[in-house]
Amino acid sequence: MFCSGLSRLHTTKGSYQSMNPNFITTTIVCTDPTWVGKRIDSFLHTRIPEFSRNYFQELIDAGFVVVNNTTLQKNNYRIKLHDRVSATLRTKACNTAPAYVDFDVIDEQEDFLVINKPAGLLVHHTATNPEEITLVNGLLHRFPDMQKIESNERPGIIHRIDKNTSGILLVARNLQAHNAFTALFKERTIEKTYLAIVAGNPPASGRIDLAVGRHPIDRHKMSTIGIESRSALSFFKVQQHFPTASLLEVRIVTGRTHQVRVHCAAIGHGLLGDEVYGVKHPLITRQALHAWRVTFTYQGKAFSYQAPLPKDLQLLLQGLAAI
């Protein structure tokens, strides 16, 4: 019912595929009426099951899925009869070999770990970063039993924070815990609080209730006027004012991509060092954002953890105080 094939043809000059020999294009034509109306990520995953739905969602976000000669803009595109879908796929599997990675373990429980992730470390591989050393490689090196978790290329990963954001990350140590924590996140019973250093002086506290979605022009960005936006809610409280900046405590109720960065920018107080949504600053080379505290109840027991502010953010605060 489907026609599919692998080909290195149909490459355009300057495309990622033409620059990287580890990627090839597969084309699938839908001739089966039962697939009409189904999401494209499910369609691709079913036809190419060695890649997960999350992988195909990332592939779409990166601009590597074309439908009827048009680059796809939305993850939730619904398949139509005779659609011709072309996806540029990696030819190499993600590098999930155990490898030494420098990160701190705040707590080690039987079912879960609490990690303090350093800035600059990717949590897991993505469609466009299949070979980069990530936290996953480090977890498999330090905790070999996690190799038994059946979760494709992201064993133990329940949630993530941006590569250039530091701080707390919860990691499941078995499939049962993975399912339990996934449910807790879905029910929004895990409280996550960030520390953010922003430009200017916002009010002492506030609520930001602005939906977040894919930017309508730049697919690598998120926006409060984005495509297919989803509700997003944050609460902030000023910990300290400086002449030109402020240290905020930001509690997120939802967990949208880049939520804190987008919300702070939307109220006119973008993060220092954030060259995408905020403002450049001579004292910091990455967004001044730290996943500071997490609080939750697991199997009837309350847990709360904090990750100390890393050295680069401490130095930034000292510099701001000296102005």
Q: Tell me whether domains 94-187 and 190-296 share a fold.
A: yes
CA separation for the pair 280, 268 (Å, rounded): 15
Residues 6+ apart with CB under 8 A from 313: 166, 195, 197, 284, 288, 290
pLDDT tens digits for range 297-317: 999 999 999 999 999 999 999
**pLDDT band per the 50, 70, 90 thresholds, residue 235:** very high
Burial of residue 294, with CB atoms counted within 10 A of its CB: 0-12 exposed, 13-18 middle, 19 or more buried = buried
Q: Which of 4-18, 208-222, 278-292 has the highest mean pLDDT?
A: 278-292
Backbone φ, ψ for residue 217 (5° rounding)? -115, -50
- Model pLDDT for residues 245-270, shown as the tens digit of each residue: 999 999 999 999 999 999 999 999 99
Tell me the Cα Rg of the chain: 21
The secondary structure of 51-82 as a DSSP string is S-HHHHHHHHHTT-EEETTEE---TTPBP-TT
- Token couple for 63: 């601009």
Note the CATH number of domain 2-90: 3.10.290.10
3-class secondary-structure state, position 144:
helix
In this structure, whether the domain defined by 94-187 belongs to CATH 3.30.2350.10 is answered with yes
* Residue 175 and residue 312 in contact, taking contact as beta carbons nearer than 8 Å: no
Residue 307 neighbours by CB distance under 10 Å: 21
CA distance 45 to 151: 15
pLDDT tens, residue by residue, 271-300: 999 999 999 999 999 999 999 999 999 999
Q: Top-level CATH class of 190-296?
A: alpha beta
The length of the chain, given as a count of residues: 323
Residues 6 or more apart whose Cβ sits within 8 Å of residue 51: 44, 45, 89
Domain map of the chain by residue range? 2-90, 94-187, 190-296
In order of 20, 77, 239, 292, the CA distances from 106 in angstroms are 38, 41, 24, 12
pLDDT bucket at 1, cuts 50 / 70 / 90: very low
State pTM to two decimals: 0.78
Task: Convert 296-321 into a string of H (helix), E (strand) and C (coil).
Answer: EEECCEEEEEECCCCHHHHHHHHHHH
d(CA 168, CA 118): 9
**What confidence score (pLDDT) does residue 22 get?**
62
Rounded percentage of the chain residues whose pLDDT exceeds 90: 63
Q: Which residues are catalytic?
A: 162
pLDDT digits (tens, 9 = 90+) for 143-171: 998 887 765 678 899 999 999 999 999 99
